[in-house]
Amino acid sequence: MLGALRVVAPHLKPIFINRWSAVNPLGRGRAATFAALSEGSSGLRLNDFESGEPKTWIGRVEGLEREPVVARLAEFDCRNNRLAQLGLVQDGFEQAVARTKVRYGAHRIAVLVGTSTSGIHETERAYRGRDPETGAFVVPPRYRHSHNVFSTADFVRSYLELQGPAAAISTACSSSAKVFASAHRLMEAGLADAVVVGGVDSLCLTTLYGFASLELLSREPCRPCDAARNGISIGEAAGYALLERAGAGDGGVALLGYGESADAYHMSSPHPEGEGAYLAMSAALQRAGMAPADVDYINLHGTATPANDRAEDTAVHRIFGASVSCSSTKGWTGHTLGAAGITEAIISGLCLEQGFIPGSLQTRVLDPGLKSRIALAPERRTLRRVLSNSFGFGGNNCSLLFGQPA
Amino acid sequence: MIPLYVQSVGLLGPGLPDWRTGRDILCGERPYQYEAPPQPNPDILSANERRRGAKSVRWAVAVAQEAVAASGLQAADIATVFTSSSGDGETLHCICEALAAPGREVSPTRFHNSVHNAAAGYWSIAAGSRRPSVSLCGYDASFAIGLLEAAVQASVERTPVLLVAYDLPYPQPLHSVRTISEPLAVALLLAPEPGANALACWQIAPAQRAARTALPAGLAGTYASNPVAQCLPLLAALAGGTQERVRIDYLDDRQLVVEPVPWS
C-alpha cells in the first residue's frame, strides 16, 4: 500500500535523543509522568483557570503563578515562559545542554520551539485593562518578550545561552512534532551538531473560548475513541529533547523517521478519510526504511473530537490494519496543543524504555465504528518502535517514529 | 548546504504591485512611488475561502500565487515555508477585544484564522497541495529564519520549496507596542536544480554579525519597520543581476550571508 506514495524520501540516519525533560499536568519530570501513566491517574480537573469559565476540564501545571523566570531574563516573565523555564530545570536537562555546549560550542547548538499561542495570555489581560475612553493600553503587554510567537524560542535560547540557528514553529497542534523534522534537516545541512527541540503552550482564554466557539470543548474529561466522545480537554505543558547524531551509549531512544503533510481540505476539520494523516505516517515509515509490521505501538493524536478520532482511525487502519496497539494519552494530559507533539514524543520514549503501552484513559465504550486496535487496558511488553501522531488546524500533520536504531 | 536556484518571485506592497514592477524599481529603471496599500484578492482562493480568510491570508496567498505562476511548477507539488512576525494582527485584536467584553463571544472563524499557520492552511487548500508545510516566527528575524528553513529544506529534501514571508500593520492598540508602518509580502521559489528560467543561484549560510547590506535607498523610508523588508537587498541583487554578497540580519548575534554563485 505504500507503493502508491509518490514522494520517495531519503532514508534517515538515526538521531539520538540524549536527554528529555517534561512538565505537564501529570507532574514535574519524566518520572512523575510515567508514574501517572502506569497508575492510570489523570491530570485533568474541572476548569479553575481565571474565572473557571467555560465549564470544561483542563490539564493545568501547578505552581506557575508563584515561579517567575530568572531575574536576568525578567523581561520575558509570563505564564508561557514560566512554563518553558519549569521544563528546562527538569530531568537534568539544562546540565545536559551545558555539557553538550562544552563539546560543540554554543554556536553549533540550535533551538527549535513549537508553540501555538505563546504569551498571548498577557495581551488578553492588557486588553481587559484598556482605557475605556481611548482604547489605549494602560499596562501595555511586553510584545517582543511575551506576545510574539518567537518569544519562547528566544527565551529558551537566552536561558541556555546558545547561539546556533533558532526558530519558533507554529503550526497549531503539530508544532512541537515538526521541530524534530526541522532539527534533522539542520544537522543534515551541517548547520548544527546538536539541537534543543521542544514545545511550550500554556492555558489562555483564546484557546478555551476559541475551542468552545467551535463546539469542540468537552464538558467532561475528554474520552478519546469513545462512542460518546464529545470534544477535547485543553492542557498545558512544556517538554524538550536534546538531539545529537551520536548516542550517549546507553541504548537510548532515537528518532528513526518523520513524515509531514498537509490535508488541503479544511481549516479546522480533518480530511474525513485522514488522507493527510496517511501521507504523514507513510512518509515516516519510508524515511526509516520500515514496514508497518515494524511498529509496536502508535500514540494517537486522539483528541476525542468525533471527526479527529474517526479520520485518524481510517488512516491508521489503512496502513496498519488492526495489528498494532494504539492509544491516545490525551485523557491523562489533555490536549496540550503546541506542546502536544513533544509531550507525546516524551511519552513514546518512556513507553520504549519501560516496555509499556498505556490504555486509552477515560474511554468507557469504544466507538464500534473504529477499526484499529485501540488499547483500553495497559500492556507490558518489549517495544522496539513507537509511532507518534500530531495533527493541527490548517490541516497540518506530522508523524514521528522512535525506537532503537537497527 | 548545496547552492539553491531562485526560480521565481512574488512581491506585494504599497507601490510594489508585483515582482515585474518591483524588479524595474529595484534595478533603477523606474522610480519608486508610494501608493495606498493594495487590496489583494487572489483568484486561486475559492469565493468561500476569500470570504472567510483574513487580510494577511490574501496577502500571503497573492505572492505565493504570483511566484508559482512564474515558476513552471504545479502548486500541488511544492512544499511550503511560511514566515511572519505577526500572523494576522486584526484577528488577534478582535479575539482579545471579544475576550475583554462581557459574554466573551469569540467567532469560530476568527479562532481558526488566529493560528499562525492560517495562511499556509488556506494556501494548501487553494493549491490542492498535501506537501509538507511549516509556519515560522522569528520576531525581527522572521524573514531570515524562513529563508534558512526553506533553503535547508530544499537542500536536504531535494525538493522545490516556496518561501512566503508577510507582515501587515497591527490595528491599535497593538500598533502602539509593535509598529509595522506598511504591509509587505514576498514569495521566493527555491529549487535544488535549475529550472528553465532560474533567476539566480545562491549559497546561503549563517555568519557572525558584520555590516548588513543596506535597504534599497528609495524603499527604506516606507518599509524599514516591516520585518519582511530584509528581503529587499536580496531582491535588489536579483533585479540588478549583481554578483555581490548580501548580508541580512538573522538572530541578535548572527546574520545570513547570501552569495550569488555563477552557473551556466
User: Count of CB contacts below 8 A, A vs B?
Assistant: 211
Is A266 catalytic? The answer is: no
Cβ atoms within 10 Å of B235's Cβ, excluding its own: 24
Per-residue pLDDT band at A11 (split at 50, 70, 90): confident
Averaged pLDDT for residues A80-100: 98
The CA–CA distances, whole Å, from A396 to A81, A249, A259, B125 equal 25, 35, 11, 11
- A chain contacts of residue B117, beta-carbon cutoff 8 Å: 170-172, 392-394, 396
Within 337-396 of A, beta carbons closer than 8 Å to B belong to 392-396
Q: With respect to residue A2, please indicate whether it lies within any of the assigned structural domains.
A: no
The answer for B 146-165 residues in CB contact with A (under 8 A) is 148-149, 152-153, 155-159
What's the pLDDT score for residue B53?
86
Domain encompassing residue B154 = 4-199
Residue A203 pairs in a beta bridge with: none
Q: Is A113 within a domain? A: yes
Cβ distance A264 to B138 less than 8 Å, yes or no, reads: no
Distance, in Å, from the CA atom of A231 to the CA atom of A76, rounded to the nearest integer, reads 33
Using one digit for the tens of pLDDT, what is the confidence trace for B199-216?
Answer: 999 999 999 999 999 999
CATH assignment of the domain containing B190: 3.40.47.10
The domain tally of chain A equals 1
Is A264 inside any structural domain?
yes
Domain residues for A30? 12-403
Q: How far is A322 from chain B (nearest CA, A)?
A: 26
**What average pLDDT is seen over chain B?**
96
Q: In this predicted structure, what is the pLDDT of residue A216?
A: 97
C-beta of residue B135 within 8 angstroms of C-beta of residue B83: yes
Give A168-211 pLDDT, tens digit per residue. 999 999 999 999 999 999 999 999 999 999 999 999 999 999 99
CATH of the domain at A394: 3.40.47.10
Q: Hey, is the C-beta of A71 within 8 angstroms of any chain B C-beta?
A: no
Question: Residues A324, A290: contact at Cβ < 8 Å?
Answer: no
- At residue A12, the pLDDT reads 86
Please tell me which of the candidates B121, B131, B152 has its beta carbon nearest to residue A185.
B152
- Residues of chain A with Cβ-Cβ distance to B136 below 8 Å are 167-170
Interface touch A167/B106, C-beta < 8 Å: no
Whether A317 is a known active-site residue: answer no
Say yes or no: B225 contacts chain A, CB-CB below 8 A.
Answer: no
What is the residue-averaged pLDDT of chain A?
A: 95
Measured torsion, CA atoms of residues A28, A30, A34, A35, in degrees rounded to the nearest 10: -50
Residue-level pLDDT at A194: 98
Asked if A170 and B117 come within 8 Å (Cβ–Cβ), the reply is: yes
Categorize the per-residue pLDDT at B51 as very low, low, confident or very high, splitting at 50, 70 and 90.
Answer: confident
Assigned domain for B219 exists: no
Bridging pattern class, strands B246-249 and B254-260 = antiparallel
Give yes or no for residue B264 having a pLDDT over 70: no
Asked, for residue B111, whether it belongs to a domain, the answer is yes
| Inter-chain touch B132–A262, beta carbons under 8 Å | yes
Instruction: Using the predicted structure, report yes or no on whether residue B4 has a pLDDT greater than 90.
Output: yes
| Number of domains observed in the structure of chain B | 1
pTM of the complete model beyond 0.90: yes
- Whether the upstream peptide bond of residue A272 has omega within 30° of 0, thus cis, is no
Query: What residues in B contact A185, CB-CB < 8 Å?
Result: 149, 152-153, 156-157
Cβ distance of B115 and A214 shorter than 8 Å = no
B252 found inside a domain: no
Contact, B51 vs B132, CB < 8 A?
A: no
Check if B99 contacts A (Cβ < 8 Å): yes
- Contact list in A for residue B98 (CB cut-off 8 A) is 209
Whether residue B89 lies inside any domain: the answer is yes
Q: What share of chain A is helix, strand, coil (3-state, %, to 5)?
A: 35, 20, 40
The proportion of chain B whose per-residue pLDDT surpasses 70, expressed as a percent, equals: 100
pLDDT in tens, A335-351: 999 999 999 999 999 99
| Residue A79 C-alpha, separation from nearest chain B C-alpha, in angstroms | 17
